Amino acid sequence: MERVALITGASRGLGAELAGFLAKQGYHLVITARGAEALEKAAQSLRKFGSQVIATPGDVSEPEHRADLAEAAKSLGRLDLLINNASNLGLSPLPPLADYPTDSIEQVMKVNLLAPLGLVQSTLPLLKSSGGMVINISSDAAVGGYPGWGAYGASKAALELVSLTLANELREDGVAVVSVDPGDMRTLMHQDAFPGEDISDRALPKATLPFWAWLLGQPRMVVTGQRYQAQSDRWEVAA
């Protein structure tokens, strides 16, 4: 059976790693990121695995772009997996929340919270038809209350509540929703959070692949509503 995944923020980092992993599993892909050149380069690499790949550059915070992504998935006939990976770190260096410009916080919320919810809304008919799964990428900042991470952490905390609420609301429709904290990784966004610092001790995104293989091997309605840590020593299904 052919399967289709839509991945945001797919030109680099975790998104690119997940796109490659799924292409190797036979998924056809809709991928997006803001940089058109980097996205097309990623698409060309993914097509080597024999997958159909639709690369649609744009900003997920824009409703028109989300509509385009939903149409791209529709053109492939179904949607089994929506991975909301694109994220906005916010200002760098990370300022204290008490000094954070509210217009910058608003933009973080648009990308990290409203865009994932908007994509679920745009693609829900396809997800219902395929009995699909939504994976919202979160962070330990959602629960840590770390100094400087207030805007980003608040957006991810809200995303986790949205994920759980959607899981409860969509269970009867056969659509699963989970949130995943991938852990600290050696990515450009993580480097932006620590400008000038050495982050070579962080794991590369490929270190999370055992988790993704495990998660996608579970019955979807058994894991729905759960929050997972991809770099944990073990993962469990719901009791």
3-state secondary structure the chain: CCEEEEEECCCCHHHHHHHHHHHHCCEEEEEECCCHHHHHHHHHHHHCCCCCEEECCCCCCCHHHHHHHHHHHHHCCCCCEEEECCCCCCCCCCCCHHHCCHHHHHHHHHHHHHHHHHHHHHHHHHHHHHCCEEEEECCCHHHHCCCCCHHHHHHHHHHHHHHHHHHHHHHHHCCEEEEEECCCECCHHHHHHCCCCCCCCCECHHHHHHHHHHHHCCCHHHHCCCEEECCCCCCCCCC
| Catalytic-residue membership of 152 | yes
**27, 100, 152, 228: which one is catalytic?**
152
Point out the residues that are catalytic. Answer: 152
